[in-house]
Amino acid sequence: MQKNATLIHEITYDQLLSLFEGLQNQLNDLKENFEPKKPTEYLTRNEVAEMLKCDLSTLWNWNKKGKLIPYGIGNRVYYKRDEVEAAIIRLR
């Protein structure tokens, strides 16, 4: 069995300890602020119409005016959920 060893030369105990404390702080910061990437959720026209409680013709008008961005594969139309939610604006 072969053992690997790493030798550290010309570094004091305090310097080594400082390096490990810095690494530990960076890892703790990463743990607190890490958010995994969520996959994009695509909705069909019917799902968006049901979600917004509107008619399919209203969705078509919003597409035409650029309020919603349609995506497609073949002859199917999809919308990104976060884009649909972002299109909803707050009224005063």
Domain for residue 11, yes or no? Answer: no
Domain for residue 56, yes or no? Answer: yes
Domain for residue 72, yes or no? Answer: yes
The pLDDT of residue 1: 64
Total tally of structural domains belonging to the chain: 1
Report DSSP letters for the chain, one per residue: ---------S--HHHHHHHHHHHHHHHHHHHHH--PPPPPPEEEHHHHHHHHT--HHHHHHHHHHTSS--EEETTEEEEEHHHHHHH-----
Q: 66-85 pLDDT, tens per residue? A: 999 999 999 999 999 999 99
Q: Give the domain range for residue 68.
A: 42-87
Domain for residue 75, yes or no? Answer: yes
The pLDDT of residue 9: 79
